[in-house]
Each structure stands twice: as C-alpha cells, then as structure tokens.
Amino acid sequence: MPAVHPIPSDQPRAARMRFLPARVHGVIDYLWGLGLLASPWAFGFADGGAPQWVAVVFGVGAIAYSAVTDYELGLVRLVPMRLHLGLDGFAGALLAASPWILGFADRVCGPHLAFGVFAVVASLITRTEPAQPLATAPR
C-alpha cells in the first residue's frame, strides 16, 4: 500500500479537503465506469432507451479519459489530473441532472443521480497531484 502523505494543517482549507490520493481515485474511476456501464442491467432499465444509453456513454467516457489521465493508473498519460477532476465534476453534475434534462426521471433517476453525485464529491476530495512523481511511480 502506498504511503499516505498527510496535508499539513497550515495548508489552505481547500487543499486540506482534498484527502483522497490520486491512485485511489484511479481505482475508483475504473470501478465507477464499469459500475455505471452495468447499471442498466443491474437495475432493470436496459431497454435501449435514453436512460440506458446515458449510463453506457458516461461509463465508457469515464473509463476512456481515466485511461489517458496523467496519474498512477493512466495508461497513456496525456490529461492533467486537474482537468480530469474538472471533467469528473462537470460530467457528474450532468449525469445527475440527465433524468430531468432528458425527461426520463419518471422512469428511472436513482442510478444516474447516485453515480453523478458520487463523481462530483470524488472530484472535490481528490488530491490534484499523484503521491509520488510519475517518472518514478510503479506502473
């Protein structure tokens, strides 16, 4: 398990609230994407409609941009972590609102709302830099 580097209490409050290591966020990214992809079948809304396709597109999208993020679990390190977290926050808010925006809230909204809110929270609590320099980080 990687060493946890506590954020000193003399850091600004915003920095102190970012306690989740980027490596852990990376694991969550891939699991979140897979969970969202599976949600239409797990929760019974795999009928080819908007709720299913929103979940599939957001799940695939999250896995794709996680794979190209510049953090320990990135496969091709192109997207800076700060941009990744911004995408997480924006996409999470959009996913959470999608049942109402696209008009399917009367049929299904729980999974979209839960996955969306989770993404927003994760974007706010994740450290913006990996725990160790990526040049020396094990792959």
List, for residues 11-41, the tens digit of each pLDDT value: 555 556 888 888 888 899 999 999 999 999 9
Residue 90 has pLDDT above 60, yes or no: yes
**What is d(CA 71, CA 79) in angstroms, rounded to the nearest whole number?**
9
Could you list the beta-strand ranges (E) of 14-113. Answer: none
Rg (the chain; Cα; Å): 16
**What is d(CA 120, CA 40) in angstroms, rounded to the nearest whole number?**
21
81 token code pair = 């972590």
Measured CA distances, 51 to 37, 59, 70, 74, 130 (Å): 11, 12, 31, 28, 34
Contacts of 78 by beta carbon, 8 Å cutoff, 6+ apart: 68, 69, 70
Contacts of 29 by beta carbon, 8 Å cutoff, 6+ apart: 62, 63, 66, 69, 73
Question: 77 and 69 in contact (C-beta within 8 Å)?
Answer: yes
Q: Tell me the pLDDT of the chain averaged across its residues.
A: 87
The listed range with the strongest mean pLDDT (18-22, 77-81, 97-101) is 97-101
Question: 104 and 50 in contact (C-beta within 8 Å)?
Answer: yes
Q: What is the pLDDT of residue 129?
A: 80
Q: What is the pLDDT of residue 138?
A: 52
Q: pTM score, two decimals?
A: 0.81
Question: Which sign does the torsion angle of CA 99, 97, 89, 7 carry?
Answer: negative
Give kind and range of the element (H or E) at residue 100.
helix 81-101
